[in-house]
Amino acid sequence: MTKRELEDKIVEKLKTIYDPEIPVDIYELGLIYEIKIADDNEVDLLMTLTSPNCPVAESLPQEVEDKVKLVEGVKDARVTITFEPTWEQDMMSEEAKLELGFL
């Protein structure tokens, strides 16, 4: 499996994880800033939360890590949280904006 194919599978899995306050998956919300896949298929994800006071600040990153580890081909996964840049609504995909009535 190529890194591109593995990344596609990871994105597919990320689209099954929802922010509890907004009925859109975390990928379409723009919370995933970066997916790095090492040669040994260890995955590092850089993500943010909609706010530093997000009620799932503890559980959401763990859920992301756990679910990405389940993707066939992934050896291990680590999530790093960042608030730089700060998440804003314009980071959402067109699909997410449409879903939330912003378009």
Which alpha helices (H) appear in 1-103, and where do they start and end? 3-14, 59-69, 94-99
The verdict on residue 74 lying in a domain is: yes
Number of structural domains (the chain) is 1
* Residue range 70-97, pLDDT digits in tens: 999 999 999 999 999 999 999 999 999 9
Distance separating alpha carbons of residues 85 and 103, to the nearest angstrom:
23
The verdict on residue 75 lying in a domain is: yes
Distance separating alpha carbons of residues 80 and 72, to the nearest angstrom:
21
* Residue range 30-79, pLDDT digits in tens: 999 999 999 999 999 999 998 888 888 889 999 999 999 999 999 999 99
The verdict on residue 93 lying in a domain is: no
The verdict on residue 67 lying in a domain is: yes
The verdict on residue 38 lying in a domain is: yes
Q: Which residue range forms the structural domain that includes residue 51?
A: 3-87
Its pTM stands at 0.92
The verdict on residue 49 lying in a domain is: yes
CATH of the domain at 29: 3.30.300.130
Pick from 97, 20, 22, 15: which is nearest to 64 by CA? 15
